[in-house]
Amino acid sequence: MSHKYINVMVSHHGCWSELTSGNYIDTLINIEYSSFDVLKASRIAMIRGSKENIKGQIKNIMTKDRSIIDFDISEIVSDNNKYSIYLISMLQEAENTMISKLRAKGTSIIGTTIRDGKEIYDVIVPRDVKTLVVDAIIKDDRVKIINFVEKDVNEEIIFKVISRNSFEMLLTEKERMLLRKARELGYFNVPRDRNSQELAKQLGVSKMNISFSLRKILKKISDLMD
């Protein structure tokens, strides 16, 4: 049976995810189900900016979601001046989660991220259940689809999903925007459709700024390969 890859970004009204800011990004690392229809999820969260009362801010967000039964927040990296990294474990009523809705329709979830107050899901589905998956999303009036991408599955897609979530946690929004714009303008094409000077002109910055920013991004990529 052939399969399809679906990437869907949603806003989830009433969920704790919509209360997170642009400085917050996390990725799901583990889920478990109990016999009482309770989902246990573990997430790695990165929060950029001031460390002042970050843990208290996360707690405040969690307590506003009535579907969360219990949660625990542990700081696992605290010696970096640019961001803090936390392990978040939570117990949640399974029926209120997008994960449960997607799994119930026969999907294989290969990536789940919260970024900019939106939930992003990467799933593999048998071709004959794709419509059921879409229906499961749009039938929940608390959920609004922001972006939807559907492709045939291949090894390049799988590799991108596996590597993207960890990589994007290290990039700032400006760095992600630069990469998107550079790709759109053909900067990474061979041969290039735009050079660094033309890219800088499009973005309204100096050529030196572009070169410095791209070197920083490449350094982050190389650090992941150690």
Same domain, 50 and 19: yes
Residues 89 and 121 in one domain: yes
Nearest Cα to 69, choosing from 113, 37, 24, 28?
37
- Helix (H) / strand (E) containing 14: none
pTM: 0.76
Cα 121 to Cα 6, 30, 137, distances in angstroms: 8, 14, 11
Spatial CA neighbour of 5 closest among 112, 109, 147? 109
73 and 138 inside one domain: yes
Q: Are residues 126 and 153 in the same domain?
A: yes
Whether the CA torsion 194, 221, 111, 175 is positive or negative: it is: negative
What range does the domain containing 59 cover?
1-166
Confidence at residue 165, expressed as pLDDT on a 0 to 100 scale: 64
Q: Tell me, what's the pLDDT at 18?
A: 92
pLDDT at 63 (0 to 100)? 92
**pLDDT, tens only, 32-53:** 887 788 999 999 898 876 666 7
Considering the domain boundaries, does residue 144 fall inside one? yes
Joined tokens for residue 73: 């927040």
Please say whether the dihedral angle defined by the alpha carbons of residues 125, 103, 145 and 158, taken in this order, is positive or negative: negative
- Write down the mean pLDDT value for the chain: 83
Low-confidence residues of the chain: pLDDT under 70: 1, 49-52, 78-81, 128-130, 164-169, 221-226
In this structure, are 62 and 151 located in the same domain?
yes
In the chain, the number of structural domains is 2
